[in-house]
Structure 1
Amino acid sequence: MIIFAVFNLKPGVSVEQYEAWARETDLPTANSLKSIDSFRVYRSTAVLGSDEKPPFGYIEVLDVNDMEQFAADAQSEIMQEVASTFQGMVDVTFVMTEELVA
């Protein structure tokens, strides 16, 4: 299952602060979980065909191989700390997906 986290930084959180934390803590921690095949973070840069600002500053893509294991991983002390820090820096919506097969 792919989960997308779309979010903006909260007021008072700088791009530098968030991105340093993402590189140093969030990415390596999430990518070390048994339940995650891949965890990537993207900075939004533009809306295709428009001069408008993207509605979200960042998008995380979590490729989860086992939702039960993911729930267990999320309860670990380190993931509770990561999640708490993340929630303190961003306003986020998590979108769960189901792939369409032709």
Structure 2
Amino acid sequence: MDIITHRIRLHDGVDPARFESWVQNVDYATCPLLPSVRAFSVQRVAAATAEAQAPFHYFEVITVSGLDDFAEDMKSEAFQALVTDFESMASVVEEVCGSRIGPGYRASVRMSPDS
């Protein structure tokens, strides 16, 4: 599996709440239509969304089955619709791609009896 990270900068005048709503209601919801995507999340940079001139305001982490697979998904109508929406609000200012070394670490989640 490969990992892609993007640093994202909002365009001047774009309300962070608008972008975050789109991420939660459209971007995340489209992921099941992209077969190569194994995991996807967008993170708000602490305090940066309040600073209009910050170098970036968010970063996203995309785990894909392979970069070639993801390149195929990028040709899809669903992905192109995401690009159109995204580009009206923000720009990717940096991209980094790589492969995870081993399985990594993930803490196990313990559910309480009330859950």
TM range (shorter): 0.7 to 0.9
Identity %: 32
Deviating 4+ runs (over 6 angstroms):
none
What corresponds to 1:50 in structure 2?
A: none
TM-score of the aligned structures, taking structure 2 as reference length: 0.72
The 5-angstrom pairing of residues 62-77 of structure 1 reads 62-77=62-77
Partner of 2:79: 79
Letter in 1 for 2:11: K
Q: Which residue of 2 aligns with 1:2?
A: 3
Alpha-carbon offset, residue 30 of structure 1: 2.4
| Residues 44 and 54 in structure 1, CA contact (< 8 A), matched pair in contact too | no
Aligned residues: 96
The CA deviation at 1:84 is 1.7
RMSD between aligned alpha carbons? Answer: 2.2
Does the 8 A contact of 1:3 with 1:97 survive in 2?
A: yes
- Bigger mean CA deviation after superposition, 72-81 or 86-95: 86-95
Which stretch has the larger CA shift, 90-99 or 70-79? 90-99
2 CA distance for matches of 1:61 and 1:13? Answer: 22
Unaligned runs of 5+ in 2: 103-115
1:41-80 matched pairs, under 5 angstroms: 41-45=42-46, 55-80=55-80
